[in-house]
A and B are shown apart, each in its own frame.
Chain A
Amino acid sequence: MSNLFFTYIPGTSLIHRLDPRTKIISVMIASMIIFKLASFAEMALIGAVFLILSLVSSIPFKVSMAAVKPMIVFLVIIFLMQLFLTEGTALFSLSGFSATREGLHIGLLLTVKFVYLLLFASLLTATTAPSMLTAGIERMLRPLPLKKAGISSFDLATMMSLSIHFFPLLYEHLWHLKDAQMSRGLDPGRSPFKTVYSLSVPMMRTAFRSAEEVSFAMESRCYQGICRTSLFDPRMQRRDFAALSAFVVVMWVILFFA
């Protein structure tokens, strides 16, 4: 399939070999820092960090861009909202709304922030196999008192890994469906409403049907959700602690000195 949207790209780089928890925590830290930053100079530094990580992981830039591309509509809306709805010195006005200098500044900054979030997240999913990602999240959730909410970290992990496994299948299905409807003359660029309608109705049917089939298959294999083991047990090693501390230091330096 021609789908690079948050896919795993197998590799052997240092970043590929890190424990999933190291990468998840790093992405969480990066997200927090990115939202604290308020100047373009700092943003440029974060950009440099991303470039270095992306070079080390040898993930082609194309893969990261594939995570941003489908979101462009939202990014543009976010930018325009900030541009027109922030008060300040007017730059120009458009049918009653005036774009402001402050709006431009905040809008650009916020848009860049969202792009960075997507880029870092894509780096995580591109370098971590879905099963490892689930195992990592499951381990991180284990200490939480989820039992009281009537759910276990195993249940959550199963749900997550099922969604991750089914995402490519549903995507493939969508791809087939789009081909079928486009062969019947559907033009997504020209008639967006018809496109959404003629794709979403059959997709819903398929999604529910396959969910039902999977639950039957799991039940007939006596799935209980009591204990879950994974084939690859993630284990934090020395290089994980080293990488994590290095990342924290870099982020801290950017936050306080740049």
Chain B
Amino acid sequence: MPIDVKGVSFSYNTGTTLEKVALENINLSIGKGEFILIGGEIGSGKSTLIRHFNGLLKPSTGQVIVDGMPAHEKHVKTKVGILFQFPQNQLFAKTVYEDVAFGPSNFGIKGKQLDKRVIHALQLAGVREELYDRSPFTLSGGEMRLVAIAGVLAMQPDYLLLDEPLSGLDPENKNSLLLLLKTLHSQGISVVIVSHRIADMLFLADRVFLMQDGRVSFKGKPDDYIYSTSSPLPDITSLMKDLRQKGIDVRDDVFSIEDAFDEITRVQKERMVR
């Protein structure tokens, strides 16, 4: 069962001179187990859109259906977890453990089951065990972010939405977060990433949506996205293009570093044979 967005429009401050149309007639569907990227510039309506997926915002017209239920029902929030931008700001509890337990306990999960979920989420997010009983405010920025991620994972959502998850992370943390998302995706969770810079995540995606001025201006596969829009190429793809121009006969429709590595070694082997 999918998230179905049907004819959704939304405006802020309706009826005043400050009225701003944020979404206009959005139609899309996100299937179970899909890996989706939603791109678009700042202010194009991406963040407003995902706030409709678990009922934080109600559409002015149209409707959002999650697994057959209207998105504003409370139960939907257990299915759709959102990790907002700078999630380290949401921490508040006395200990890391309590903060991660906040989500599931709000849905009435108690005792052993709660403990199991919290520990599982902390392990999944890669929070070191000696931090469990520390105050979240004594942690470093990177550790705080991992705790916040665990806080969303502890809800065991079927759909995981992330708003600019890579902003402010160093390359190492970026890679470990992407790896985590890949693992979750392989376990059957739908992952939706919203970002103004999606090029370097394209290799993970099943499908890509591009938002522009509150509308969806592109829907399709990552390779179509590269060729049919004027969006920037992933760094690795432009490197392959450069190699081609230098006369090295590699394919340039490559989005991931692993594929690029395979491709370059393949070409190198061919050369050695010759």
Residues of A near any B CB (own CB < 8 A): 1-2, 4, 7, 9-11, 60, 62-63, 173, 176-177, 179-187, 197-199, 201-202, 205-206
How many chain B residues sit at the interface, stated as a range, is: 20 to 34
Find B106's partner among A60, A173, A187 (CB 8 Å cutoff). A187
> Which residues of A sit under 8 angstroms from B80, Cβ to Cβ?
183
B23 to chain A, nearest CB (A): 14
Q: In the complex, which of the residues A10, A176, A180, A185 contacts B107, with contact meaning CB atoms closer than 8 Å? A: A185
Q: List 9 A-B contacts (CB under 8 A).
A: A4-B13, A176-B84, A177-B90, A184-B151, A184-B152, A185-B102, A185-B106, A185-B107, A198-B92
Contact status A201-B92, CB under 8 Å: yes
Contacts of A177 in B (CB 8 A): 89-90
Q: Which residues of B have CB within 8 Å of A185?
A: 74, 77-78, 102-104, 106-107, 155
Chain B residues 33-90 with CB under 8 Å of chain A are 51, 54, 56, 74, 77-78, 80-82, 84-85, 87, 89-90
A62 touching B84, Cβ below 8 Å: no
The answer to whether residues A180 and B12 also contact, given A185-B155, A202-B90 and a CB cut-off of 8 A, is no
Stretch binding the partner chain, chosen from B14-22, B176-184, B261-269: B14-22
Q: Report if B5 contacts A (CB, 8 A).
A: no
B6 CB to nearest chain A CB (Å): 22
Alpha-carbon distance A64/B261, docked complex (angstroms) = 63
A2 touches B13 (CB 8 A): yes
> How far in angstroms is the closest Cβ of chain B from A185?
3
Write the nearest CB–CB distance from B76 to chain A, whole angstroms.
Answer: 10
Residue of B13, B77, B78, B102 near A198 (CB, 8 A) is B102
* Complex CA–CA separation, A202 to B137 (angstroms): 10
Residue of chain A at shortest CB distance from B161: A183
